[in-house]
Structure formats: C-alpha cells, structure tokens
A and B are shown apart, each in its own frame.
Chain A
Amino acid sequence: MSSALHPAAQLARLPGWVALLLWTAVVVLPLYVLVVSCFKTTAEIYINPMGLPASWSPTNFITAWHRANLGQNLVNSLIVTVGAVVVTLLVSAMAAYPLSRFRLRWGTAMLGLFLVGIMLPIRLASVELFTLMADLNLLDSLFGLVCVYVAIRIPFAIFIFANFMRVLPRELEEAARLDGANDLQILFGIILPVVMPAISIVAIFTAIAVWNDFFFPLIFIFDNNLKTVPLAITSFVGQFRTDWGMVFAALAISLAPVLAMYLVLARQIREGAGAGGVIT
C-alpha cells in the first residue's frame, strides 16, 4: 500500500519510521542483555555486559535447573496458572451470562460493582490479606494462591465476557429454552461456544498475569517445595554472592513459555488487549 504513495509522501513518513525504530531499539536492548547474560559468568556480566558471551555453553541453565530446583517450581507455577485460568473462566462466564442477558433489575448495578473491582488496589491490603489467609488456613497453599488470583482476575474477565455476550442475538437461546434446557445448559452448550474469542482473551491474560506474578507468592508461600518460579528465582538474588548468570538463565526459562505463546498468538493477544480497553 505504501509503495503506491508519492515519493514525497513516503519521505514525509520517514521521521515516524525513525521514531518507531528508535523505540524498537529501546525495547530490544534489555531483552538482548537478558539473553546474552544467560551464557555469561558473573564476572563476564560485570566486565562485558553488552558484548556476546565468550562461549555459548549451557552451564547456567544446568546450574539453574539443579541448584534452584526449578523443575519443582515450574510444576508449582503450572498448577497455579492452570488452576487460576480454569476457575476464572468458569466463575466469570457464569456471572457474566445473567448480568449481560437476563433482564434483572439489579443487573446493571451488579455489573458496575464488578467493574469497580478492576480499580481496587489489593496490594495495599496485603498485610490484612495475609492475616485473613492465615485464619483460613490458606498460607503455604497453592490452592490459596489460586483463590486470590481468581478473585483478582474476576472483574476483568466478567467485563470481557459481558461485552461479548451482550451483542449475541436473542434467538440464540430461545429455541433451547423452549426445549426445556436450563440456564447452565444454555450457557455451556450454546453461549460459550460462540464467545470463544472472549474465552481466549481471558485465558491468555490470566495466564500471563499469574505465571509472572511475584508479589503474592512472596506473601503467602514460605515452603521451598511450594514456591513458584518468580519467587524461587528471587531467592537467589542478594545472597552473599549472587550467581547472576544462573539468575538470568532461570529468568529466561520462566520467560520461554510465555514468549513462545506470544509468538504463536501475537495478533490475538494484541487484539485481546485492545478489546479490554475499548469501552462500548
């Protein structure tokens, strides 16, 4: 399309391209440093932070895997992430359906209440949440982590689901209702299959947020065998002598699945983020 433009118009776009490329360089530099640091010794990271590593040996990855018990941490992160995604999808779809498609007198107020939930800064109440979790016997528990993550993600998920469900035609569920199907059957059999984009948006963004989170495991998890990947990695920082090569290798391991998913689903993820931002 741009090749059809007049050369002068092409030239007018040059500053824009330069600005974009500059920002791209800003984005790429830290990622580059992260990647090359995975293959360096701590001394090399300090002496030669920008250059290519002396050798591309996987030593740091092997150390990270063995010393940091990263396998167990990956399993923990996976359990928490999958658990949070599945439960968030279930409870949010169930809540969004009546709020967006039933004629309820209190429906709008209730939806508004959930939307306000997006704005609650729960980290400010972390001391109270900790004591509450202790009372509920949910400290040092992956289940407890899942509960908190689901509660945090519910407002956003309901918002997305409600946006997608609201615009579906009314005829969609009427036939099934005449056949005597109940609301749950209609939700899972008829509504959810046609809002697959909403399901993938909620699943992807919940997964990223939960997989990457450091704050809540830091508060709730003390048992080494229950630590998630981000918490495990940070416990190797700030010790007497931090093995930075290993820390960066571990960070790369934790980043790999998210980045792989991103490269496959880049378009959907970007459009999903956009869908979350466009209030209609």
Chain B
Amino acid sequence: MQRSHQLSAAVMLAPATGLLATFIILPMLLTIWLSFHSWSSQTGFETAQFIGLQNFFDLASSSSVGRDFKTALGNTAFYTVLSVAIILPLSVGLGLLVHQTIAPGGVVLRTILFSTYMVPMIAVSLVFSKLYSPTEGPLNQMLGWIGVPPQTWLSAPQTALVSIVLLNVWQQVGYFTVLAVAGLTQIPQSLFDAAKVDGANALQRFTSITLPLLGNTLLFSAVIAVINAVQVFEPVALITQGGPVNATNVLTYHIRRVGIERAQGGLGSAMAVTLMLALIVAITALFALARARSPRSA
C-alpha cells in the first residue's frame, strides 16, 4: 500500500517535474555552465570552449565590454530598487484606503485599480511613449496647467530610466494593492479595537499592528516585485532600445544584444549569472529582514 502510494506519487509528479526541469531548470544550469565558456550562440552547445573565469574578468575589466555591462547592471539595479521602493509603500497606502472604504464606490474603485494588471506591457509601453512626448505631450501639457515646466521624460538620459520605472509602477501597483488588501483582511479587527482602548493613535496602530502583521504579505510582494523588475524588457525593446546613450540599457536587453546580435553567448551567460548572484543576495537579505522583524517566528 505504502509502496504503491510512493509509485503513483512519482508518476503524478513526473509531467510537472519534467517540464520544469527541461524548460526552466536546464536553461538556467546551461547558463551557469556556459558562463565559464567561450560560446558563439549561433552554434550548438557542443562548440563551447572552457575558459575558466575569463568572461567574469572581462565583465569586471575597464574595457568597453566591462563598462557597458556595469552600466546595464547599474540600470537594472536602479530600476529594481526604485520600482520596489515606489510600488510597495504605494500599494500598502492604497490598500489601507481601499480596505477602509466599505461604501459601494469601493468596489468600483477596486475594479478600476486592478484593471491595469490586464493591460499587456506592450500596450502600457506604447501608450506611455505617447504620453511622454517631449513638446506637446499630454503629461507635459498637464504639468503646464499646474505651472510645472515641461519634462524631458524618455528623451534625456537623466530622466529616461525613471520614466520607465513610472510606467512599470502604473501597471503593477494594482496587483500589489490587491495583495495588500488580502493581507489586511487577515488582521483581526479586535487587535485594532484593543489598541484604541489603550489609547494608541492611528500612526501607532499602523506601526505596531498593521505593519508587523503584514510582514508575510510584504515579503512575498517584495520578492515578486524584485523578480519582475530585474526581468524588465518590453518598454526598453519597444520604445527606447536602451537609449538615450545607454541610459535605459537594462540587463535583459543587453544580454540579448550581446548574446544574439554579437553571438557572444558565454559572455551573456556570465552577465546573467552575475545578476542571479546579486538576486540571491538581495532575496536572502529580504528573507533575513523579514525574519528579524517578524513577531511570530521564534
């Protein structure tokens, strides 16, 4: 009985495991393996030549290869940190507001707020490329109404990457607001009532009850937001092509340029591996932070 149970479990797990192993885990392992090789991506994996850490030395060097990589890594890091730093507080804030609105209007608001999740990234990118038009673009027009001078948005290196962060925030905040609302509904109202009786003000109730008990939700949201952000590709590929002057050349885009257009597959793999290592450090830090703050884990 127990043995047949094990057997049928293995059979039932096989398709999912096989698909995940073939199309996700295998390419990731190949990336790690190829990062130690010189490999032209126009040929098969068997042509790869082992070169040790040479790719990583090239990336760290001050050559143009190294400079472009560091710019791209920096852009991805900036994009990720800024996206998460805006999305998380904004989604918790909106979540609190939505959570408190029991009025009929609340349902309509929730429906509108989450609707951006349905809009494909290519549509978001193309619409925003029009909103950002430099001279008479809608956003600059509206800024003019309140006396703010026109901004350069995508057309200047100083503002281009921030503009891409903003369109990402627009698309993603609805999803994370829904996560925040789901987390908030799990907090028992009695805790707030007790704190009120004890004389805690709204800010104290937020920092001592809401925030700690939202810990798991925030951790999950932060991890997902980071994973999404480091894979940014559509707006860069569609509207900026990495420009102006490499200001929006993020790593997913740069890896494809190096790996496909210049066929330097090994070098591209080394870039991906470096980013993965950075990602592991960042996510481990997030988990450590959550564990240190969590009231429930002992």
Contacts and interface: CB of A to CB of B under 8 A. Distances in A.
23 contacts: A23-B94, A27-B115, A34-B127, A94-B15, A104-B6, A117-B20, A117-B24, A118-B224, A118-B227, A125-B27, A125-B28, A127-B41, A127-B265, A128-B31, A129-B27, A135-B45, A151-B23, A187-B12, A208-B118, A213-B120, A230-B120, A237-B126, A254-B120
Contacts of A215: 233-234
Interface of B: 5-6, 8-9, 12-13, 15-17, 19-20, 22-28, 30-31, 34, 41, 44-45, 93-94, 97-98, 100-103, 107, 109-124, 126-128, 130-131, 133, 136-138, 141, 170, 173-175, 178-179, 181-183, 185-186, 216-217, 220-221, 223-224, 227, 230-231, 233-234, 237-238, 251-252, 255-256, 259-260, 265, 268-269, 272, 275-276, 279, 283
B20 A151 contact: yes
A152 B19 CA distance: 9
Given A26-B170, A130-B260, 8 more contacts: A16-B101, A34-B127, A127-B265, A128-B265, A131-B45, A218-B237, A251-B126, A278-B216
Interface in A223-245: 230, 233-234, 237-238, 244
A99 B5 CA distance: 12
A94 B16 contact: yes
B16 A30 contact: no
A255 interface: yes
A202 B255 CA distance: 31
A274 B112 CA distance: 16
Interface size class of A (residues with CB under 8 A): 35 or more
Main secondary structure of the interface of A (DSSP, over half): helix
Contacts of A158: 16
Interface string A254-280: 110011001100110111011111110
B183 A154 contact: no
B276 A127 contact: no
Contact of A126 (B25, B186, B256): B256
A238 B241 CA distance: 11
B59 to A, nearest CB: 14
Contacts of B8: 98, 182-184
Nearest to A30: B127
A50 B164 CA distance: 21
Contacts of A16: 97, 100-101
Interface string A1-42: 110000000000100110110011011111101100100000
A122 B114 contact: no
A125 B31 contact: yes
Interface in A110-138: 110, 114, 117-132, 135
B269 A274 contact: no
Contact of A255 (B23, B41, B120, B130): B120
B255 A126 contact: yes
Contacts, number: 269
A164 interface: no
A266 B216 contact: no
Contacts of A258: 118
A119 B223 contact: yes
Nearest to A214: B122
A98 B127 contact: no
A131 B44 contact: yes
A190 to B, nearest CB: 15
A95 interface: yes
A130 B5 CA distance: 38
B28 A154 contact: no
Nearest to B178: A273
Kindly name the residue among A120, A130, A131 whose own CB sees the greatest number of chain B CB atoms within 10 A. Answer: A131
Contacts of A54: none
Contacts of A251: 120, 122-123, 126-127
A83 interface: no
B114 A270 contact: yes
B231 A123 contact: yes
B31 to A, nearest CB: 4
Contact of A148 (B9, B23, B120, B126): B23
A118 B107 CA distance: 30
Contacts of A90: 15
A49 B130 contact: yes
Nearest to A242: B126
Nearest to B114: A270
Interface string A137-152: 0000000000110111
A29 to B, nearest CB: 8
A79 interface: no
A26 B109 CA distance: 12
Contacts of A81: none
Contacts of A92: 16
A255 B118 contact: yes
Contacts of B97: 16-17, 19-20
B13 A132 contact: no
A40 B114 CA distance: 27
A200 to B, nearest CB: 16
Given A19-B97, A123-B233, A278 B186 contact: yes
Kindly name the residue among B15, B121, B122, B259 whose own CB sees the greatest number of chain A CB atoms within 10 A. Answer: B122
